[in-house]
Structure 1
């Protein structure tokens, strides 16, 4: 169950691709079909081709209302599917697996202005929903440990399970803390997860899991984007920065290496002639006990000759 990748699923047929123009064309066609006389039908076709005609306005208004109704139907369908559901709709869906949204950091009403609670994201809650069935296993699979580690505290951002071949019953559990600057887990969080995984109702009797903070590997990104002289003052730099920040965010997970090929891909946007990456000098290869932390980003635009 934990191997499911929602991003690879095609949208169900229940969710329609809607177009106002298509709906309006269908309504006009049906409207004209009500005229049995060909001459009248031809005259009315000329009439509804004019935007200023009242009957055209009525057809457009009804087509627009149909579009809204069918789009609401799409939204209602999505609210009942874990892949698309969000917010309170998702909260209600995941109850059937006995899980609920976790608190990452509680509300603080003692400061001005008051700070609202930071809650588990939809993506993280959805991921735990996928893992929940594996949590029922009594055999101690990797996904079961991941489920219980994630469920121990809302601050757990990622989990890896390492089982040495020589001593398969001695497990090393590495956790990433999603609200720390680098991703390193505090001793408090390590202790909370350790207690959760040591419960005899969670682990098989022969397993001995030991929880550790993930080992942080720092890296920085320095690159030069060569563009045409006329493009130097455009939005190219912001687009490239947005792409890079998204990549850095996605790679803030245990064992996700930082690849030069990926950096070239996100920085080589339309309008860029070529990209020179200065740092990192080579791929930053990470294992299942490590996570990357980007300490600095320096992207510059230069005109090529």
Structure 2
């Protein structure tokens, strides 16, 4: 995996300002307050109109406090989504990129596809790297990611002082960057405010290592084996999608963890036979996933 990383926002503790809500706690507090104000209400039953009013009041308060929680999350980079995240990104001079152009003349019209929230969130985190003109690894990665919405990932390395290699992983196909995309990144990383005068920057496509996944799972008796198989295959797809990044290794342990879903007793991984290790200029791409179900073993 690349030596350049940002803070993993998913590992941060939940913010204290977002409170845990419990309807029963809110209701009991309101009921206790009512009894304190008027002791005659000390024998309320659920059919009593006052009881119903308290239930409605407690529910309304919980919904209001939940809305406050959501408003707080919308102001945090780790939790903001969609338009809320766009607003935060704008504060850092970052704008959501178009990942795939649409076709308004098609029937029905095809809208533009924009980069995901996670990709935008990552660029916002990297935006501070864009402030430096010292040619740091992060500054080149940030410039490359900003060059085009077709850039899925980028990495920078320097094997010789003064010479920088920038690797580009495309969103198209297996990730091999087209010459057009390489040229767009080349222009971005060689901009006057990005590249120091002493650096020679070369932009290359990532070297993509293609692989296949073939696995046989054994399920416990009881659950529908096809449902279990589909869950295992979907989890494997999520894993390989997450690992389709520059210098990310595809590990056997990660594949076993993904395939071992609820209802799976055993996983026999046939391909790949070993962990796929990727260097700074490399990435992996899974061409196919085949998960089949074996006969149950005695349990």
TM-score normalised by the shorter chain: which range applies?
over 0.9
Structure 2 residue aligned with 1:183:
175
Q: What's the counterpart of residue 108 of structure 1?
A: 103
Match of 1:192 in 2: 184
- Cα 1:54/1:111, change in 2 over 3 Å: same
Does 2:152 match 1:160?
Answer: no
Any idea what the Cα deviations from partners look like across 1:103-137, whole Å, max 9, x if unmatched? 11223111111011111211111111111111111
SS at match of 1:230: coil
Contact 1:107/1:115 (<8 A) preserved: yes
Equivalent residue for 1:291, pick from 255, 275, 283: 283
Q: How big is the shift at 1:25?
A: 2.1
Tell me what 1:172 maps to: 165
Question: Which residue number corresponds to residue 14 of structure 1?
Answer: 17
- Is the CA contact (8 Å cut-off) linking 2:219 and 2:225 kept in structure 1? no
Q: How many residues align?
A: 294
In terms of mean alpha carbon deviation, does 220-229 or 244-253 score higher?
Answer: 220-229
* Cross-structure match for 2:29: 26
Q: More relative contact order in 1 or in 2 (CA 8 Å, sep 6+)?
A: 2
The verdict on how the C-alpha distance between 1:2 and 1:290 changes in structure 2, with shifts beyond 3 A counting, is closer
Deviation at 1:147, TM superposition (A): 0.8
- Distance change (3 Å), C-alpha of 1:197 and 1:234: closer
Q: Which sits farther off after the overlay, 210-219 or 261-270?
A: 261-270
Note closer, same or farther for the CA distance 1:161–1:128 as it changes in structure 2 (3 Å cut): same
Segment drifting more, 209-218 vs 92-101: 92-101
Which of 236, 243, 253 is residue 235 of structure 2 equivalent to?
A: 243
Task: Decide whether the 8 Å contact of 1:2 with 1:131 is kept in 2.
Answer: no
**Residue-by-residue CA offset, 1:8-39 (whole Å, 9 max, x unaligned):** 11121111111222222222222222234xxx
Normalised by the size of structure 1, how large is the TM-score?
0.91
Q: What is the TM-score with the length of structure 2 in the denominator?
A: 0.93
Structure 2: 5+ residue stretches without partners: none
Answer yes or no: is the 8 Å Cα contact 2:225–2:293 preserved in 1.
no
Kindly indicate whether residue 118 of structure 2 is the aligned counterpart of residue 123 of structure 1: yes
Name structure 1 gaps, 5 residues minimum.
Answer: none
